[in-house]
Structure 1
Amino acid sequence: MTPPATFRPHERINDPKDFRRAFERKRSASDAAMVVYGAENGLGYPRLGISVGRKKIRSAAARNRVKRLLREAFRLGKEELPAGIDLIIVPRGARLTFQEARASLPALAQAVARRLGARTSKAPT
């Protein structure tokens, strides 16, 4: 039996330097739902950062809902994500659905990993 998927504290990006590093690396992939920026992290697992601007999503409740959806999509899709990269997600709007996030995140993460030249092995569970 596989262990339940969790979103552990070490998988979260909190340091502004890590966000800046991913944005300055200028490796990204996007679709209609979101933009994903990436940078190598030298670790054996992916990490997640979410950047939701007030100009795009005005309501705090809507911003928090979008962040919850993205964290859940990351948690459930970790095994499909490439290991060793930091992913910064910028949603394009408040109408993001869980199905869109769940479908977009692995594909965009793989595209970012290809652009970084990182190995695209699956993250360990």
Structure 2
Amino acid sequence: MTPPLSPVPPVTSTPSATFRPYERLNDPADFRRAFERKRSASDPRMVVHGVENGRDYPRLGISVGRKRIRSAAARNVVKRAIREAFRLSKAELPPGLDLVVVPRGPGLTAAEARRTLPGLAQAIARRIGLKAAKAPTPP
């Protein structure tokens, strides 16, 4: 006989630990602006392009090409890892910055992205001249 399962407490997240729709880059013009401004920072696993957005919070866009990651399933895994890294590190990211993350290949994990994304975003903010703030405020 198996013992009864103990109830699992519901997982609650604070508003700052969620990925809100207004924090996403959806407009192709926003992606184009980030790529054309030529402000980027990189490490061996990903390139982050950035541009000032005039808001009090950072926004995220992800560009994963089929030439770099052939499998659709692998592309989706990488995108989920990047979104999770952004969600968990929002408090460390500079506000007023649109970030477009381009992974360099398959196999990028959420832990790797979480470690490197804040540092790359801070480097872009320094190049643009933005001041680093500790916590973004939603609109």
Does TM, normalized by the shorter one, top 0.5?
A: yes
Name structure 1 gaps, 5 residues minimum: none
Q: Is residue 103 from structure 1 mapped to residue 103 from structure 2 by the alignment?
A: no
1:16, 1:37 → 2: CA distance?
A: 14
Picking from 29, 37, 48, the partner of 1:36 is: 48
Contact 2:69 2:105 in 1 (8 A): yes
Based on CA coordinates, which of the two structures has the bigger radius of gyration? 2
Higher relative contact order, structure no. (Cα contacts within 8 Å, ≥ 6 residues apart):
1
Q: Which amino acid aligns with 2:14?
A: P
Percentage of pairs with the same residue:
73
Q: Which amino acid aligns with 1:3?
A: T
| CA offset digits 1:66-89 (Å, max 9, x no partner) | 000000000000000000000000
Per the alignment, residue 62 of structure 1 pairs with: 74
CA RMSD of aligned residues (A): 1.2
Per the alignment, residue 115 of structure 1 pairs with: 127
User: Displacement of 1:98 after TM fit?
Assistant: 1.7
What is the aligned residue count? Answer: 124
1:34, 1:3 → 2: CA distance?
A: 28
Q: Which amino acid aligns with 2:26?
A: N
1:123, 1:21 → 2: CA distance?
A: 25
Per the alignment, residue 3 of structure 1 pairs with: 14
Contact 2:25 2:59 in 1 (8 A): yes
Per the alignment, residue 26 of structure 2 pairs with: 14
Q: Is residue 77 from structure 1 mapped to residue 94 from structure 2 by the alignment?
A: no
2:63, 2:41 → 1: CA distance?
A: 15
Q: What secondary structure sits across from 2:54 in the alignment?
A: coil
Q: Is residue 53 from structure 1 mapped to residue 61 from structure 2 by the alignment?
A: no
Runs of 4+ in 1 over 2 A off after TM superposition: 122-125
| CA offset digits 1:42-93 (Å, max 9, x no partner) | 0000000000000000000000000000000000000000000000000011
1:42, 1:61 → 2: CA distance?
A: 35
2:19, 2:73 → 1: CA distance?
A: 21
Per the alignment, residue 3 of structure 2 pairs with: none
User: Displacement of 1:123 after TM fit?
Assistant: 3.3
Provide the TM-score with structure 2 as the length reference: 0.86
